[in-house]
Structure 1
Amino acid sequence: MEMQAKYSDQELIDRILAKETALFELIIRRNNPYLYRIGKMYRFSHEDTQDLMQEAYIEVFTHLHQFENRSSLRTWISKIMLHQCYRKTQKWNSKNIEIREINAPIFENIQTNETSKNVMNKELNSVIEKSLLNIPEDYRTVFTLREINGLSVSETAEVLNISENNVKVRTNRAKSYLRTEIEKSYNKEDIFEFNLIYCDEMVNRVMHKISQL
């Protein structure tokens, strides 16, 4: 954990490009939960999502020299993961939607505590995942990036190549579907959680592949 906090993203990039390849592990660990949620958002199985994550990380590693710091590293990596998902599903809906803002935060009444962070309620988690997967893809995509992965409005707009107004509209329309099921008792960070065990496995998989490049 101390090592995770030791380097900024840019410091990691500089050191990795200077042949300190082992530090790429920190980029994997920092981004595993975000990429996992993106894969699950597209209805991929746990195994397929892991495969897509591995492919995304290999692409990140091989193209790291092309990162121009125009956006955050997380935004750039999220774009790469989304591209992997797009290629697998061969779907992309760029249909415009009506611009309308609704300002009702979905998680405003949720209580956060150590138990809710560390102990997953599988039954409730299943309800939330199913609810999220049942909403239209445009809204589900924005909601996952914005509310679950924590991207800003501008970052989400950049990742999806839509306007910031569209981000706000789609996020809030997604909230209207999910508010009843979620706001009573569930912590948003627990949705589509990527367990530490799987995090270690992903690190091992990717670092092994990188060692063979």
Structure 2
Amino acid sequence: MMNLSDEEIVDRIIKGEQHLYEVLMRKFNQQLYRISMAIINDDKEAEDIMQTAYINAYQQLGNFKGKSSFSTWLTRILINESLLHKKRKIQLQKVLMETPVNQHHNDTPLKDLMNKELKLILEKAVADLPEKYRMVFVMREIQEMSTTETMDALNLGESNVKIRLSRAKEMLRDGLYGYWEPKQVYEFNLIRCDVVVNYVMDKIRID
């Protein structure tokens, strides 16, 4: 599969090689997880959203026309699903606003890794950014998406992407930005990768 483009793999899936969808999921799991976390900031909810987005994308593969890259197309589906989930969550919180809501604990995959305290501090700093800056920052600096890919995924102009990225860095710079590693934030380990892949493949598999 190494010499096949995403678009070629999609074409083969559409023609019946359903098992190849796993190749695409494993390729994009880290990217989608980080972007969903930038919106939702809850690792379990982000995982659920990824599964839904993958299933939706699979069901819509026939509509993929190649006008943008498969990565961009898939990312848009993930973003839409994440924003929809966030909207529903806000609506639910409004209904339950009189009931105390306990914040979730920092039980993320990061806690079992080296320097977990620092990583949680860094993750919180990124999570505390306003959403419009956090989204661009995660895509450009953490996921290392190109400016063009970020523009396409968020429907922003180039200047807006650059301005938001610059502003996000300014917000993080004091005491943080000089000594952190982007790859440490929102890591998606192999076990979580297997969970998402196996769930989606079970849902789409034709017996």
Q: Tell me which interval the TM-score lies in, with the shorter structure as reference length.
A: 0.7 to 0.9
CA contact (8 A) 1:25 1:203 kept: yes
Aligned to 1:158: 152
Aligned to 1:11: 8
3-state SS of the aligned residue for 2:34?
A: helix
Aligned pair 1:183/2:178, yes or no? Answer: yes
CA distance in 1, matches of 2:31, 2:147: 16
State how many pairs are aligned: 182
Aligned to 1:31: 28
CA distance in 2, matches of 1:173, 1:189: 20
Return 5+ residue gaps in structure 2 as ranges: 89-112
Residues 188-212 of structure 1 show CA distances to partners (whole Å, capped at 9, x for unaligned) of: 1221000011111111011001126
CA distance in 2, matches of 1:22, 1:162: 35
CA contact (8 A) 2:169 2:177 kept: no
CA contact (8 A) 2:41 2:127 kept: no
CA distance in 2, matches of 1:72, 1:121: 36
CA distance in 1, matches of 2:40, 2:54: 20
Equivalent in 161, 165, 170 of residue 164 of structure 2? 170
Residues 92-137 of structure 1 show CA distances to partners (whole Å, capped at 9, x for unaligned) of: xxxxxxxxxxxxxxxxxxxxxxxxxxx6431111011100111111
CA contact (8 A) 2:39 2:83 kept: no
Quote the offset at 1:26 in angstroms.
0.7
**What TM-score, normalized to structure 1?**
0.80
% identical aligned pairs: 40
Q: Which amino acid aligns with 1:36?
A: Y
List aligned pairs for 1:63-142, cutoff 5 A. Answer: 63-90=60-87, 120-142=114-136
Quote the offset at 1:7 in angstroms.
2.4
Aligned pair 1:207/2:201, yes or no? Answer: yes
CA contact (8 A) 2:40 2:86 kept: no
CA distance in 1, matches of 2:184, 2:64: 30
Return 5+ residue gaps in structure 1 as ranges: 92-118
CA distance in 2, matches of 1:126, 1:43: 16
Quote the offset at 1:182 in angstroms.
3.4
Q: Which amino acid aligns with 2:177?
A: I
Residues 118-168 of structure 1 show CA distances to partners (whole Å, capped at 9, x for unaligned) of: x64311110111001111111001111122222221221121112110000
CA contact (8 A) 1:71 1:155 kept: no
Q: Which amino acid aligns with 1:87?
A: L
CA distance in 2, matches of 1:87, 1:69: 25
CA distance in 2, matches of 1:6, 1:197: 26
Quote the offset at 1:187 in angstroms.
2.2
CA contact (8 A) 1:145 1:151 kept: yes
Q: Which amino acid aligns with 2:204?
A: I
Q: Provide closer, same or farther for how the CA distance between residues 58 and 129 of structure 1 changes in structure 2, counting only shifts above 3 A.
A: same
**What TM-score, normalized to structure 2?**
0.82
Aligned to 1:62: 59
CA distance in 2, matches of 1:173, 1:21: 43
CA distance in 2, matches of 1:191, 1:72: 25
Q: Which amino acid aligns with 1:156?
A: T
Aligned to 1:94: none
